[in-house]
C-alpha cells in the first residue's frame, strides 16, 4: 500500500504536493515576490525553491498582476501563494480562483478573524464562494465535486501572527480548524511591543510562547528567516522558511558580481 501511495504522489505536480509536504513537517524554503511581473515568477519557477509568495500586502500587485503571475506559477509548476492585502475571506477569493496554492492572511488577531479565514479557504464545511469557470476550476471543464475535493485538500491557509492581541489570543486561535500554518510576524510584533529589535526579550518571549502553543496544537509554523537564523527557528518548530525576496536576491547577486569583478 505504501508503494502505491508513493507512486501516486510522484505523479502529482510539485504544486499539488505542497500542502501535503507542509503538513508532514518537511523543511520548505521559498522567497517573497514583490515585483508584479510574470517574468519574475517564470525565472524563479526554474529554480529548486519549494514555493514563492506574491506579496500583495506590501507590493503593487493589482488583480491583473496577480492573475498573470499565478498563471506563470502554474505553467512553471511552482507552488505560488499570495499574501493578501485585505485580511478577509473576500480578499482570499480572487487569488484562490486564479489558482494560488494558498494564501497568507495578515493580522489574524482574534478567534473571529481566524474563523472567517478558515471558512474562506474551504468549500465543504466552509464558506468559499464557488465558481467553476475560473483557472482553478479549469474554466468550466472540471467536474464540480472532483474540483471541490481537490481544492479543499490542496489549498493552504496560513494565518500571520503579528499583533500583541494575537499573542494574547493564540491559545484559542489555534483551536480553529482548517488553518494549516501560522506565520510569525516578528517585525510587526517588535513594533507592537514598542521594542527596538526582534531580539528584544519581550519579542523573543512572545514568539517562543506562540511557537509552543502552535506546536502543542499540532499545527505548522512559518517565518521570514535569514540563513543564520534557520537553526534557531527550527528549534522553535518552524518548518516553512521564507528567505528574503527577489529584491534581496538581486542586491546580493549584483553586489557579488561587482565584488568579483574588482578582485
If you average pLDDT over residues 1-26, what whole number do you get?
74
Residue 238's DSSP bridge partners are 221
Task: Check residue 57 and give its pLDDT.
Answer: 98
* Contact of 53 with 83, CB cutoff 8 Å: yes
221 Cα distance to chain centroid: 10
pLDDT category, 13, cuts 50, 70, 90? confident
Interval 86-114 mean pLDDT: 98
Out of 9-18, 104-113, 176-185, 201-210, pick the least confident.
9-18
Domains of the chain, with CATH numbers?
A: 2-256 (3.20.20.60)
Q: How confident is the model at residue 11 (pLDDT cuts 50, 70, 90)?
A: low
**How high is the pLDDT of residue 12?**
67
Could you tell me which of 172, 124, 174 has the C-alpha nearest to residue 151?
124
Q: What is the DSSP letter of 262?
A: T
Q: How many CB atoms lie within 10 A of CB 10?
A: 8
- CA end-to-end distance (rounded Å), the chain: 57
Rounded CA-CA distance 72/210 in Å is: 35
pLDDT of 91: 97
- Those residues with Cβ within 8 angstroms of residue 144's Cβ, 6 or more apart along the chain or in another chain: 130, 132
Would you tell me how many other CB atoms lie within 10 Å of the CB of residue 215?
A: 15
Largest CA distance in the chain: 61
Residue among 216, 151, 212 nearest 184 (CA): 212
pLDDT of residue 1: 43
DSSP H helical ranges for the chain: 2-11, 14-23, 38-44, 63-75, 89-97, 111-120, 144-154, 164-173, 186-192, 201-216, 230-236, 246-261
Average pLDDT score over residue span 208-230 = 97
For residues 96-114, average pLDDT: 98
Q: How confident is the model at residue 138 (pLDDT cuts 50, 70, 90)?
A: very high
Average model confidence (pLDDT) across the chain: 95
Q: What is the pLDDT of residues 140-170, one digit of tens each?
A: 999 999 999 999 999 999 999 999 999 999 9
Element (H, E) at 179: none
Q: How many CB atoms lie within 10 A of CB 89?
A: 21
What's the rounded Cα separation, in Å, for the pair 182 and 196? 24
Q: What percent of the chain is modeled with pLDDT above 70? A: 95
Of 72, 50, 33, 66, the C-alpha closest to 246 is 33
Per-residue pLDDT, 7: 46
**Closest to 157 measured CA to CA, from 102, 86, 87, 96:** 102
Amino acid at each position: 500500500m505504501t508503494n502505491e501511495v508513493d507512486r501516486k504522489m510522484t505523479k502529482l505536480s510539485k504544486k499539488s504536493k505542497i500542502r501535503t509536504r507542509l503538513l508532514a513537517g518537511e523543511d520548505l524554503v521559498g522567497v517573497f515576490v514583490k515585483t508584479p511581473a510574470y517574468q519574475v515568477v517564470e525565472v524563479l519557477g526554474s529554480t529548486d525553491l519549494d514555493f514563492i509568495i506574491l506579496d500583495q500586502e506590501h507590493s503593487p500587485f493589482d488583480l491583473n498582476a496577480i492573475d498573470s503571475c499565478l498563471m506563470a506559477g502554474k505553467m512553471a509548476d511552482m507552488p505560488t501563494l499570495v499574501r493578501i492585502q485585505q485580511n478577509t475571506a473576500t480578499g482570499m477569493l480572487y487569488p484562490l480562483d486564479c489558482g494560488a496554492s494558498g494564501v497568507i492572511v495578515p493580522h489574524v488577531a482574534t478567534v473571529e478573524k481566524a474563523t472567517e479565514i478558515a471558512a474562506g479557504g474551504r468549500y465543504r464545511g466552509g464558506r468559499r464562494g464557488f465558481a467553476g469557470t475560473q483557472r482553478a476550476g479549469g474554466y468550466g471543464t472540471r467536474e464540480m465535486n472532483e474540483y471541490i475535493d481537490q481544492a479543499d485538500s490542496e489549498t493552504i491557509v496560513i494565518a500571520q501572527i503579528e499583533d500583541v492581541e494575537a499573542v494574547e489570543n493564540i491559545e484559542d486561535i489555534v483551536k480553529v480548524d482548517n488553518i494549516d500554518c501560522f506565520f510569525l510576524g516578528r517585525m510587526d510584533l517588535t513594533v507592537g511591543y514598542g521594542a527596538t529589535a526582534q531580539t528584544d526579550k519581550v519579542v523573543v518571549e512572545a514568539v517562543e510562547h506562540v511557537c509552543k502553543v502552535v506546536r502543542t496544537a499540532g499545527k505548522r509554523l512559518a517565518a521570514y528567516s535569514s540563513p543564520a537564523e534557520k537553526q534557531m527557528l527550527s528549534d522553535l518548530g518552524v518548518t516553512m522558511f521564507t528567505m528574503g525576496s527577489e529584491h534581496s536576491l538581486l542586491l546580493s547577486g549584483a553586489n557579488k558580481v561587482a565584488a568579483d569583478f574588482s578582485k
